[in-house]
Amino acid sequence: MGTIYSISRIGTFGGCRLRYKYQYVDHLKADKETIEAFMGSRTHEALEELYGFVKNGVIKPRDWLLARYDDLWDKNLTPAVKVVRSDYTEDDYRRKGRKCLDDYHDEYAPFDQAKVVATEKEISFKLKDGQDEISFRGIIDRLDWDDKEKIYEIHDYKTSGSLPTQEDADGNDQLGLYHLAVRSLWPDADRVKLIWHYLLFNKRIESSRTPEKLAELEKAMILKVKEIEACTHYPSTKSALCDWCGFQDICPEWKHPEAMKKLPENEYLKDEGVVLVARYAELEEKKKDLKNEIEGLEAEEAKVEEAAFAFAKKNGVRVIDGPGFQLTVSEKEETCAPMKKEDEAKWTALRDLLIREGKYTEVSTVNNYMLNSRLPGWGKAFYDKIKAFLITRITKSVYLKKK
């Protein structure tokens, strides 16, 4: 297993295998960046610089942090940054990022909760399970040493709009892997505190991992990597996350719709695919209209059938004559096993009797086929036992034939 893996790489495979192929097998570069990712990157960069100063004994004020964020925003913003949600603007996201940093500075200044070991620290480490070994890589947003509690702290900043539960945090793989990485770099790191900062909520969520949980995680990651490396088929998975994917222009789920967005209306209406869809939709609408018409005709036909039965009974006939055609009407009366939906009480009673008599295994259920196929072999004495639970069903039929 010579490939170097990351938690985002494994997560991409689990979310959409085709996206994984584009990004990690074909090594294609996404053609756009979402505004959410852009905002997250700028807040991370601002906090990285802030804690770089803290590490060197310099505490920057709130105004500096917000100004630095604005500067990073302006320098990095390009037309490739995409605002997915039409009800928000670029400035809305900019203000959200500022609010995150404003709240964070207010919560943690003067940033003396622990000693800063590193910010945006790139880590490489190996996971092992018997003969299997895989290389992993990641970036820790911030690593601290709490010299009072004598414990390492792995901090991760999130600008996500959803807040996980404690159970979610306790099962999160990313910081668990980073715990393994820190332990490989600092063998004394048996105790590590995992801390997520959900900046939009100004909320901190903490977790930890036991040695047993870390061993389970190591094995689970190796199994996932084995699955990835055995994969030869990369189907697309369409989901709500597609709008945040940078490969929509080439994905078979989105390639044509994305291309059509760029065409002027006169060219759009002439496109072969658009013409096919329009014709198919037209035919579906006609089918719907015909279906409604047929349902109406069948309802009217049912009324005529009832009138034909009434006419035949009144006049004592079975065949009714007409221009070019004749209607043959008939009524058949038979004794039947009840259907559950028409008489659940009798159906249940009959089933229970069959169970008591040891007959139920022969039929598996209670229905009219059971009665017709098995009853002759069971004999008249058994019929007498069950006849109280049977029903009389009258079947009417109408047959139209040419003269």
Q: What is the DSSP string of 299-327?
A: HHHHHHHHHHHHHHHHHT-SEEE-SSEEE
Count of Cβ atoms closer than 10 Å to residue 311 Cβ? 13
Domain check: are 225 and 325 in the same one? no
CA angle 178, 94, 156 (to 5 degrees): 10
Enumerate the β-bridge partners of residue 327: 320, 400
Domain check: are 327 and 223 in the same one? no
Closest CA to 134 of 215, 213, 25, 225: 225
Calpha distance 192→151 (Å, rounded): 6
Domain check: are 239 and 117 in the same one? yes
> Which of residues 205, 222, 244 is at a domain's end?
244
Calpha distance 5→177 (Å, rounded): 11
Asked if the structure places residue 187 within a domain, the reply is yes
Sign of the alpha-carbon dihedral angle for 313, 316, 317, 321: negative
> Which of residues 191, 212, 244 is at a domain's end?
244
110: exposed, middle or buried (C-beta count within 10 Å: 0-12, 13-18, 19+)?
exposed
Asked if the structure places residue 288 within a domain, the reply is no
Asked if the structure places residue 77 within a domain, the reply is yes
Specify the pLDDT at position 1.
52
Domain check: are 213 and 355 in the same one? no
Domain check: are 208 and 347 in the same one? no
Collapsed DSSP state (helix, strand, coil) of residue 216: helix
Specify the pLDDT at position 393.
84
Collapsed DSSP state (helix, strand, coil) of residue 130: coil
Q: Which two tokens stand for residue 37?
A: 């990712």
Q: For the residues of 48-83, what is the DSSP string, one character each?
A: HHHHHHHHTT----HHHHHHHHHHHHHHH--TTEE-
Domain check: are 224 and 336 in the same one? no
Domain check: are 216 and 335 in the same one? no
Sign of the alpha-carbon dihedral angle for 300, 301, 305, 307: positive
Spatial contact of 154 and 182, defined as CB atoms under 8 Å apart: yes
Calpha distance 187→180 (Å, rounded): 10
Calpha distance 117→115 (Å, rounded): 6
Domain check: are 96 and 191 in the same one? yes
Collapsed DSSP state (helix, strand, coil) of residue 189: coil
Q: Which two tokens stand for residue 40?
A: 């997250």
Calpha distance 320→311 (Å, rounded): 9
Domain check: are 98 and 187 in the same one? yes
Write the CA distances from 188 to 54, 151, 152, integer angstroms: 24, 9, 9
Calpha distance 381→116 (Å, rounded): 91
Domain check: are 180 and 47 in the same one? yes
> Which of residues 213, 244, 275 is at a domain's end?
244
Specify the pLDDT at position 298.
94
Asked if the structure places residue 295 within a domain, the reply is no
Q: Which domain CATH number covers 143?
A: 3.90.320
| Phi and psi angles of residue 110, each rounded to the nearest 5 degrees, phi first | -90, 25
Which portions of the chain are predicted below pLDDT 50? Answer: none
Specify the pLDDT at position 105.
97
For residue 360, what is the enclosing H or E element?
A: helix 360-363
Q: Which domain holds residue 146?
A: 4-244
Asked if the structure places residue 311 within a domain, the reply is no
| Phi and psi angles of residue 362, each rounded to the nearest 5 degrees, phi first | -75, -25
Asked if the structure places residue 292 within a domain, the reply is no
Asked if the structure places residue 84 within a domain, the reply is yes
Q: Which two tokens stand for residue 169?
A: 């945090």
User: What total of structural domains would you count in the chain?
Assistant: 2
Domain check: are 239 and 322 in the same one? no
Domain check: are 185 and 325 in the same one? no
Calpha distance 284→397 (Å, rounded): 33
Predicted TM-score (pTM) of the model is 0.70
Asked if the structure places residue 293 within a domain, the reply is no
Spatial contact of 206 and 195, defined as CB atoms under 8 Å apart: yes
